[in-house]
Copies of this chain bind each other. A is one copy, B any other.
């Protein structure tokens, strides 16, 4: 009683606390808390009065205190694979941006915010990971024994991964495309368009996407009895892609159709084809995996495989928030998102129509 009487330096160089509101409204802090959070049993008059006073004082509850008390921060970590100092790589650019955009939107709609965090725990002098209170984490393409993921699950935090986890990584759930099916379907499409020898532009990295896609290509080749024709390059190096595209078309066993696994491969292959005087699609059929809309307006427009990053981003967030809020599914959830082959001129020997291409559409659902 003796200390409680001190009027508490009201808003001393900072925001008003719940105590200031209680004092100003002539009630206890319990009543303030209950009134603002819609709990307890209070008459509407008191509730309105307290809310009015809180509004007048510009009271905002301390997020830190609430987090400490409730154990929920409303924050979701989003790890991005880092090469060197930069978060997310050049080749993943459009994909990651689209995926992050959808994830951000989905998280905000459910009252959560995303925190961008590095894939490595020791990115700077202080460990940013342990400095932020997370309710859960989304990891993109985690490696086999990702130490960050292991540490997070050890702490009991739900972890959902974009891309099926390699090895025995104990994630709460994952979302991925069916990469084998996508590649097989796409190769059949090229073969149906008249391709006799299909080449592949792939990466030297061992991530799941590259590995599964390449394996599917090799399996397809074996099935139809074609010798594999492919070039690998470090996908994080934007220069190397153009060089590898050139190498692929310079081979003695030059393919008459190429699938490029990474986003810039389309323009790379197109430029290389021009250098060798190859017409697309007459001499060379072309498909690349990309989310970029520029391929709708290239000369010629290029067929792309979309991994539907927006659907993936949304799905990942829904699964994670369900896990956070205890909407428990019993066993590890695996969700497979279908890909979409956006067929354009570059993969068709007979372009369906020779009219001018209309202005590109907004592509509402990729």
Binding site for B on A (CB under 8 A): 13-15, 58, 60-68, 73-75, 80, 85-88, 90, 93, 97, 100-101, 104-105, 108-118, 123-126, 128, 130-133, 154-156, 237-239, 242-243, 246, 264, 267-268, 270-271, 274-275, 292-294, 297-299, 356-357, 359-362
Number of copies: 2
Question: 6 nearest interchain CB pairs?
Answer: A242-B359, A64-B67, A63-B133, A267-B297, A111-B126, A64-B68
Q: Which of the residues B68, B101, B154 comes within 8 Å of A62, measured between beta carbons?
A: B68
Docked-complex contact B109 and A124, CB < 8 angstroms: yes
Q: Which of the residues B64, B114, B246, B267 comes within 8 Å of A116, measured between beta carbons?
A: B114
CB distance from A173 to the nearest CB of B (A): 21
CB distance from A264 to the nearest CB of B (A): 7
Q: Which residues of B contact A299 (CB under 8 A)?
A: 274, 298-299
Docked-complex contact B60 and A130, CB < 8 angstroms: yes
Q: Which of the residues B68, B86, B242, B361 comes within 8 Å of A239, measured between beta carbons?
A: B361
Q: Which residues of B contact A356 (CB under 8 A)?
A: 274-275
Q: Which of the residues B14, B88, B104, B128 comes within 8 Å of A156, measured between beta carbons?
A: B14
Q: Which residues of B contact A67 (CB under 8 A)?
A: 64, 67-68, 133
Q: Which residues of B contact A62 (CB under 8 A)?
A: 68, 133
Docked-complex contact B85 and A359, CB < 8 angstroms: no
Given contacts A68-B68, A108-B124, A275-B356, 12 further A-B contacts (CB under 8 A): A60-B130, A66-B131, A74-B128, A85-B105, A86-B101, A100-B116, A111-B131, A116-B116, A238-B362, A268-B297, A271-B359, A299-B299
